[in-house]
Structure 1
């Protein structure tokens, strides 16, 4: 009997350790995933365009296919690559992270420049495939998954850099959890955004009460504004996160002047704030990081569009992306 009780005590102890480990993994994954907010919001803002023009019955299946491809991108390619880099070449992580930060700054600045009319996207000369919806859907899904691979690489690199020193399997579990959490959050949000119009139309047409129909009409009216706001928030988040990554990276690599200067200015500007000083200081630092990200991105636009993109297209033999 004593042996059985000892065994039960051991099982209970193991269960407690396992539960604590799961909690630790989820907690660390949430913290690491939060660091990748800019890229994740951008992913959510970009994806709805891939279902534009399709029958409503195909919207959720297309989103599911893209989400499945995104998860495979992360779990099969990016998580193992991240673990390999962390184990065998940890010094590469920061330069890769800064490269991703440059990409975020470039993307954010290009959106700002396009909105202000400073740059214009070339029109695509791709043949209209509306007479073959299945082929068009296949092309759209493949294009979305390719775009997602770049954004997912940024997300996983940012998450990898945010994970504190830990064992290999714990690191693997945290990265895998980040991959699942980010994918579910991004594409769950995309599914809600895409189907909100349909829900609003249904409520407006079939609601039994005047208030229900009014809510439906309100949803339909507000969704374009929600999408526009999402694009603005996504752009701001990209510039903030990208700028912060570059500034933090340069500080880590031995050039801390600008990083320290921004924090010193924020500290001085909020010195007299009595309540909420920490929040005000954080907001000011984030704003300055975003301004730096925008300035860097504007510098990178001609480099990216005139040099890197043409070279990349020649290497991959690709036509300009829509």
Structure 2
């Protein structure tokens, strides 16, 4: 009995040593994964602030918290485990799901661009009968829902890349890395987003008379520049949706993106910019095609309007 117990303890000790050795690689794998998804993280950060523009400033942090909470839940409870399951049972399906998400981003980006241009041609003198009137609460709920849908696609790409980074590692490593990436990236993205949207309040505080004149000047500069900054960030976010969506599809189809950069290889920054521009335009074109297909489907399957007798 004693011999058997000692043997069992030896086995447990050996298992603990192996697990500790494998977990030593976790920080390296997390850092490697974070580097690979940095582009998507930047896109996510650029996209989110536009969802709180025009809403009650007192609700901004609450809205960001709602989005961040749902983002973390999606990563940790749904997307992370889904990546593990699919990676084990059906790894060939993952690229197609990512391309479907990329197509959604292209469609969403096109809708934003179309909305920008259509608004500039619509008369604004009087409201039309078709204009819907919603409460601030309904608008907030709509904004949060839209942000979470967009974040879900970006989060899926992040978790898929994270899984690909640790696919050959032990299961314990995979789980720890995926959960660590989910928590770290969510906090980093939405912490920075909160800082962006509350920068004007920080500026107002810095502009108070109790501070040094230089501090006051910086504070006033922040307040004056933030509206323009948020508008520009909204444009960047829309462009990022198109760029990332097209790049996901290009990678899924194994398209040689290096061909785009080839003529400008001697100037890395220019090569990167040209690639991003081509991808964004390609995403815009794809989004327009998807929108036309959806509109055609709606017309084909919608019920004809009933005629009203006069």
Q: 1:92, CA displacement in angstroms?
A: 0.8
Measured against aligned partners, the alpha-carbon deviations of 1:130-171 in whole angstroms (never above 9, x if no partner) come to: 4xx5x6545544454344333323433344445553333322
Match among 129, 138, 149 for residue 135 of structure 2: 129
Match among 148, 169, 177 for residue 174 of structure 1: 177
2:37 is equivalent to residue 33 of structure 1 = yes
Q: 1:96, CA displacement in angstroms?
A: 1.9
RMSD: 3.9
1:194 equivalent in structure 2: 197
Rounded Cα–Cα distance in structure 1 between residues aligned with 2:18 and 2:181: 25
Aligned residues of 1:203 and 1:216 also touching (Cα < 8 A): yes
Match among 259, 266, 282 for residue 296 of structure 1: 282
**What is the total number of aligned residue pairs between the two structures?**
284
2:206 is equivalent to residue 203 of structure 1 = yes
2:258 equivalent in structure 1: 263
Aligned residues of 1:98 and 1:249 also touching (Cα < 8 A): yes
Rounded Cα–Cα distance in structure 1 between residues aligned with 2:95 and 2:75: 19
Rg bigger for which structure?
2
Rounded Cα–Cα distance in structure 2 between residues aligned with 1:140 and 1:64: 13
Taking a change above 3 Å as real, the CA distance of residues 41 and 119 of structure 1, as seen in their structure-2 partners, is farther
1:3 equivalent in structure 2: none
1:82 equivalent in structure 2: 83
Taking a change above 3 Å as real, the CA distance of residues 51 and 301 of structure 1, as seen in their structure-2 partners, is closer
Match among 18, 24, 28 for residue 24 of structure 1: 28
Rounded Cα–Cα distance in structure 2 between residues aligned with 1:289 and 1:113: 23
2:250 is equivalent to residue 250 of structure 1 = no
Taking a change above 3 Å as real, the CA distance of residues 200 and 64 of structure 1, as seen in their structure-2 partners, is same
Q: 1:190, CA displacement in angstroms?
A: 1.2
1:47-62 to structure 2, matched below 5 A, reads 47-62=48-63
Match among 153, 156, 159 for residue 156 of structure 1: 159
TM-score, normalised via structure 2 length: 0.73
Could you list the runs of 5+ residues in structure 2 that have no partner in the other structure? 1-12, 123-127, 302-310
Taking a change above 3 Å as real, the CA distance of residues 140 and 100 of structure 1, as seen in their structure-2 partners, is closer
Could you list the runs of 5+ residues in structure 1 that have no partner in the other structure? 1-8, 274-279, 316-322
Aligned residues of 1:108 and 1:294 also touching (Cα < 8 A): no
Q: 1:219, CA displacement in angstroms?
A: 0.5
Rounded Cα–Cα distance in structure 1 between residues aligned with 2:179 and 2:114: 36
Taking a change above 3 Å as real, the CA distance of residues 311 and 203 of structure 1, as seen in their structure-2 partners, is farther
Taking a change above 3 Å as real, the CA distance of residues 263 and 17 of structure 1, as seen in their structure-2 partners, is same
Rounded Cα–Cα distance in structure 1 between residues aligned with 2:190 and 2:145: 16
Taking a change above 3 Å as real, the CA distance of residues 106 and 155 of structure 1, as seen in their structure-2 partners, is farther
